Amino acid sequence: MSEITITGRKRLALLSGRAHPALADEIATLLGTELIPTTAYDFASGETFVRFEESVRGVDAFVIQAHPAPVNHWLVEQLLMVDALKRASAKRITVVAPFFPYARQDKKHKGREPISARLMTDLYKAAGANRIISVDLHTPQIQGFFDGPVDHLWALPMLADYVKDNFDDGNITVVSPDSGRVRVADIWADRLGAPLAIVHKRRDPDVPNQVTAQEVVGDVEGRTCLLVDDMIDTAGTIVAAAAALKKNGAKRVIVAATHAIFSDPAVERLSGDSVDAVVVTNTLPIPEEKRFDSLTVLSIAPLIARAISAVFDDDSVSQIFPGHA
């Protein structure tokens, strides 16, 4: 009987939008490859055009895009890239979104509101994505919004190791800036072998980015306090919590977060007396005008590169995080 035999081979294709080229270049270097040449520009009307300059037929494609402001612009660009890959016969398409767009809108607070994070996953699926890789989702439930595999990466081990090496004086207390982050703060506390405190905050649901009251639960007097959160936007919550800790006798306040959104007036607030040091990652681009003396930026590229390599090789991604598989 005659037959046709094709020797199977896998090809990894790394592609990037224009939002954070430095991160994409670093990931490509760590993987020992180059980004697929891509033409992308905006028309006068505001519409975006993308085209890949090399064949992507049959590839295992990874589309990297950060989502800083304006989020909608970079989101649409990534969706267009996914659609172009699908129509160019890519074998598998993985969306790499280090900071997942609309992650904070993961549930309804009042009637007649959208669940925007769910809509984002639907858009990725409709465009042609088979898989999503993201870092420190605002809530783990977002993994269930997407009809396909979601690799949820943690920056905590990297951040915690840096804090331990540079700020742990044996007198450190991990602090959750609100009740919603207690579970993550508890994991930090276990990793650092430190006690846990909580800053209880009250918000006005009708006024965004504004905290109305702060109350510290736990002993922080004379201690180095490590405030941990997944993101810093306007820094209102973090700085108010830091001020409350200082008011309650904290010796110094260190802030650690994964996503540095740094919407105005975040830099001004974080540069004040309440916060002694800030440690973040580069899941989002941080321009020079938003950097300040007490800021440390760690690269997330090695973590993402390891995850991409594991997915491409059909290995376990959870093995990157021993003890959390």
Q: Answer yes or no: is 201 within a domain.
A: yes
Examine the domain organization and report whether 46 and 125 are in the same domain: yes
pLDDT band (50, 70, 90) for residue 321: confident
Asked if residue 322 has pLDDT above 80, the reply is no
* Burial label, 164 (beta-carbon count in 10 A; 0-12, 13-18, 19+): middle
User: What does the pLDDT read at residue 215?
Assistant: 86
Do 245 and 167 belong together in one domain? yes
In this structure, are residues 211 and 235 in contact, taking their beta carbons and an 8 Å threshold? no
What share of the chain has pLDDT > 70, as a percent?
A: 93
Q: What is the DSSP letter of 305?
A: H
pLDDT in tens, 172-208: 999 999 888 899 999 999 999 999 999 987 666 676 6
From residue 89, alpha-carbon distances to 86, 93, 300 in Å are 5, 10, 30
How many other CB atoms sit within 10 Å of the CB of residue 38? Answer: 17
Is 1 within a domain? no
The reply to whether 164 falls in a domain is yes
Residue matched to tokens 């009809």: 147
Does residue 30 surpass a pLDDT of 80? yes
On whether both 200 and 281 belong to a single domain, the answer is yes
Segment 120-169, tens digit of pLDDT: 999 999 999 999 999 999 999 999 999 999 999 999 999 999 999 999 98
* Judgement on whether residues 28 and 43 belong to the same structural domain of the protein: yes
Q: Is residue 59 part of a domain?
A: yes
Mean pLDDT of the chain: 93
**105 shares a domain with 200:** no
- Please check whether residue 325 lies inside any domain of the structure: no
* Phi, psi for 124 (deg, rounded to 5): -60, -45
Tell me the residue type at 279. Answer: V
Does 208 share its domain with 292?
Answer: yes
Q: Are residues 64 and 38 in the same domain?
A: yes
Q: Are residues 192 and 270 both part of a single domain?
A: yes
Percent of the chain with pLDDT over 90: 87
pLDDT at position 257: 98
The confidence score (pLDDT) of residue 179 equals: 83
- Mark whether 56 and 121 lie in a shared domain: yes
Q: How many domains does the chain have?
A: 2
Q: Which residues are catalytic?
A: 201
Are 262 and 288 part of one and the same domain? yes
Assign residue 67 the CATH number of its domain.
3.40.50.2020
Q: Are residues 192 and 122 in the same domain?
A: no
Residue range 52-75: mean pLDDT, rounded: 98
Whether 6 maps to a domain, the answer reads no
Ramachandran quadrant class, 37 (left: phi over 0; alpha: psi -120 to 50; beta: rest): beta
Asked if pLDDT for residue 9 goes beyond 90, the answer is: no
Q: Are residues 237 and 222 in the same domain?
A: yes
Taking the model in full, what pTM does it have? 0.93
pLDDT at residue 325, as a whole number: 43
Say what the pLDDT of residue 6 is.
55
> What residues make up the domain containing 130?
12-153+302-319
Taking the C-alpha atoms of residue 162 and residue 77, their distance in angstroms, rounded to an integer, is: 34
Answer whether 306's CB lies under 8 Å from 322's CB.
no
- Residue at 44 is within a domain: yes
pLDDT of residue 1: 42
Q: Does residue 124 sit within a domain?
A: yes
pLDDT: which is higher, 296 or 179: 296
